Structure 1
Amino acid sequence: MQIKSNDDRFIPLRKADVVQACIEMDNLPKGSIKQFQLLCQLITSTLHFEYHQNLETLKDNYAPFDPNSDVQSIRVFSEGELEAKQALFANVFIEVLNAANFEKITEQDLREALEEESLFKVRLAVEFDDFSEVVFYRRGEHQKTDTIRKWWGLKKDTITFTNYDKVAVYIKFKDKDYFKQHKKAVSNFEPGSTIIKLFQNVPKADLEMLFPNSKVRMRTIDKAIIGGSAVAGGAVVLVTKLGASLVVLAGLFSFWLGFSDRSVTITSQQLIVLGTGIGILGGFIFKEWSKFKNRKLRFMKALADNLYFKNLDNNAGVLHHLIDAAEEEECKEAILAYYFLTVDGPMSSEQLDSKIEAWLEHQFNLKVDFEIKDALLKLLRFGIVVKQNHHYHALPIVAAQKQLDARWDSLFNC
């Protein structure tokens, strides 16, 4: 079961479904359905062109930091140039995340995630000092309930937790000098590189598993279980298996340390007993060490399994994914704002915002914090909506088509 947060800007509908839902309301001027569909295509094409430019900017400025690049660079950038590229990339990347209606995960959220117990019963440690920059963004926040098993499956508990539909991670590692100075091994990443990852269906309590250098640690209860088992098993071995060997060793040490003047003669039989005892002790220690390692490996497998199904994309691939998501959100916002201004007439920003949010809740049972300011700014920039006396007026559909068509024709004017 899940309960959606009511302050989410994300509209969880496909753009095509939004257009179809507008048409099915049957409020458009008679005979203008095809014109409205064409206008939606023009809006989509215009935004697609704009976001293609953003994608090229992101790719160009991320290239020097991409750890997965398979192309050869034909020039060496100075330190100043690299800093400028990193800064421009970060700014545009955040703009795209915002357009895709992602929200920043605050430092407080991260601290709470590190303090909360993992839903997968895995304790992780993160070396934050390895990073020079860490930014997390999420989209789609829900309260979910789930049933977990405790005490080896003998007890079931129902828990409620915060879950994120999508989480974007932006991390920049420190340079080589830092890792060399602190004598830290580098195997899974390139010092100074920037990694970008996109995950889905992530519980807030498990955000730490998304860090690239997280390490599995044994929980206190796991240490207690293994330690208790080792102590109990050791006591049994001492009493039942090593008694004869301990008697021989006690006599030897007493004589060597001067506590007894009675010399001890070790027979071949006693040597066999002593060797057998040492072998049993060594076998017991190895068995307990294997238990510890196997339990840790199970935790690592649980972590790997969860990450495998939660990972959506990495590095440069994330850029394409987010650009597409931003396009979709921008299109849905612009189309809905234009549609309601067309069928219901001029409105203030507040009236239009309330109308769209009420329609989304009534039609699809969605509580959305609609981005009315962003939607109207796009329509004003396109010239298909005008503002008069704090009210917004939509151009007729055919006139809006001509305006967007003329704007498109002027994009490549030299």
Structure 2
Amino acid sequence: MPYDRFIPFTKYDVINLCAQLLPEPESFKQFSHLLSSLIHHQYYTHLESLKYHYAPFDPNSDTRKIKQLTAEQKAAHQSEFAKGFAQILNAANYEKITQDDLQDALNEESLFKVRLAVEFDDFAEVVFYRRGESQKTEVLTSWWGIRKKPLQFTNYDRVAVFIRFKDADYFAAKNKQPLGYEPNSTIVKLFQNVPKADLEMLFPNSEVKMRPIDKAVIASSALVGGAVVLVTKLGASIVLLAALLSFWLGWRSEEVHMGQQHFITFAIGMGVFGGFIFKEWSKFKNRKIRFMKALSDNLYFKNLDNNAGVFHTLVDSAQEEDVKEALLAYTFLLNSPKGLSPTQLDEKIEAWFEQQHHCLLDFEINDALQKLTKMQLVNKQNEIFTAIPLHQAKASLDKQWDDLFKFS
């Protein structure tokens, strides 16, 4: 399994861990505050762009529209939003789930004891992203707890979903309406702790279907119960009716007489049989309702955010990842006066995480060095990077903060 780029420690933990490696921890924390503030300001622009481009098709919007956009203008907004959303997910160290991975997930044995069907034709675009991948084991029970089966599965700590529905013409041609969503709309969702095999439950149009074993249980119960009702409640009446029919058709010479008591008994039996049929149909419907409730209960605890709230969360996560990467790279360069190459720095940070914190990760060294270079916190000579002194770094960041807004 490939290592994740995500650093599974909070920004404050990383600041404290780095401060412990330096002789001036308080000065470093001041530097960290300046660095975080500048990166936060940079991401403010990204957030405003996402809000602007998502607004025309935000299903949760509570604001008025000054003017109606044309189809071409909406398409342009959707395209820009999709591009910006993908950039933020990459900055937050999310990985795209490929179509092959998604198809494998749909074919795997599910932990969730419900069979789901997804109408993929309803979507113009579907993209899944995940962050944090691990192997877990869970014991599945069946036959009222008698049978226990351990199942190893891949679990995703975070899953982001980007879905765009097809236009109104498609749904009109199929005489259907996407439940809860407008045609040509775009939805984004964020979930936590999702088994790979259960990704299909994250689709907005997933429908509960009976598993073969569920159908077999209900069918066998109905057949046995129906046979018992027919024999005990309608057996004598059915034999009598068969004899009467045979006499009318000329297959029987002996006349058959049916009195009022026979008809009453037959009517009562048919009422009992009808009640049995209704009971079995209700059992089928109730079983399906229980499955739907299990699905909604499961999603209730896995859902983290929806639509506009998702990219607010992701922007915050992306800027924290940038801060953590920049602080780690600067700290280790500061502790290496002769400088390090990108490969040496990358290996040193990854080894420190593995040895000191039992954490395996794929550190984003290129992103970190690009950020430090852009903020003028490192020097580069012959592919060797060195960090500028801490007091000089604080002065540089302070000047950049002061220069953010200059109005004549």
Which TM-score bucket, shorter chain as reference? over 0.9
Asked if structure 2 preserves the Cα contact closer than 8 Å seen for 1:199 and 1:312, the reply is yes
Kindly indicate whether the alpha-carbon contact (under 8 Å) linking 1:209 and 1:303 is maintained by their aligned counterparts in 2: yes
Instruction: After TM superposition, give the deviation of residue 271 of structure 1 in Å.
Output: 0.8
Report deviation, 1:256: 5.0
User: Which residue of structure 1 lines up, in the alignment, with residue 133 of structure 2?
Assistant: 141
Q: What are the superposed Cα offsets for residues 233-280 of structure 1, whole Å, 9 maximum, x if unpaired?
A: 112112222102211331343345554466544321111011012111
Query: 2:15 is matched by which residue type in structure 1?
Result: V
Is the counterpart of residue 342 in structure 1 residue 334 in structure 2? yes
1:308 to 285, 300, 312: 300
The aligned amino acid for 1:231 is: L
Is contact 1:15–1:332 with CA below 8 Å preserved after alignment? yes
**Consecutive unaligned residues in structure 2, runs of 5 or more:** none
1:6–1:367 contact (8 Å) kept in structure 2: no
**Would you say 1:80 and 2:76 are equivalent positions?**
no
**Matched-pair contact (CA < 8 Å) for 1:244–1:273:** no
Relative to 1, partners in 2 of residues 1:356 and 1:261: Cα closer, same or farther, differing over 3 Å? same
Aligned equivalent of 1:60? 52
Structural mapping, 1:268-307, within 5 Å: 268-307=260-299
Distance 1:256 1:339 in 2: 102
- Cα offsets for 1:57-112 (capped at 9, x unmatched): 00110011111111111111122211111111001100100110100111111111
Q: For 1:263 and 1:41, how far apart are their aligned partners in 2? A: 104
CA-to-partner distance for each residue in 1:340-381, whole Å, 9 max, x for gaps?
Answer: 000123100000000000111112111010000111111111
Equivalent residue, structure 2, for 1:24: 20
Give, in whole Å, the separation in 1 of the partners of 2:299 and 2:376.
45
Other-structure match for 2:6 = 10
Give 1:290 deviation, angstroms: 1.2
SS of match in other structure, 2:67: coil
Query: For 1:9-408, what aligned pairs fall within 5 Å after superposition?
Result: 9-25=5-21, 28=22, 30=23, 32-260=24-252, 264-345=256-337, 346-408=339-401
Instruction: State whether structure 2 residue 408 is matched by structure 1 residue 412.
Output: no
Q: 1:293, CA displacement in angstroms? A: 1.0
On the 8 A contact 2:342/2:384 being kept in 1, the answer is yes
Structure 1 pair 44–258 and aligned structure 2 pair: CA distance change class (3 A): farther
Q: CA RMSD in A?
A: 1.5
What amino acid does structure 2 have at the position aligned with 1:49?
Answer: H
> Aligned with 2:181: secondary structure?
coil
2:14 aligned partner, one-letter code: V
Distance 1:35 1:213, change over 3 A: same
* Closer/same/farther in 2, CA of residues 258 and 374 from structure 1, 3 Å limit: farther
TM, length-normalised to structure 1 = 0.95
CA distance in 2, matches of 1:65, 1:82: 8
Give the deviation of 1:156 after TM superposition: 1.6
- TM superposition score normalised by structure 2: 0.96
| Structure 1 unaligned residues grouped into runs of 5+ | none
- C-alpha separation in 2, matches of 1:10 and 1:406: 30
Cα separation, 2, equivalents of 1:256 and 1:373 = 93
Q: Contact 1:117–1:123 at 8 Å: present in 2 too? A: no
Contact kept, 8 Å, 1:118 with 1:205, in 2: the verdict is yes
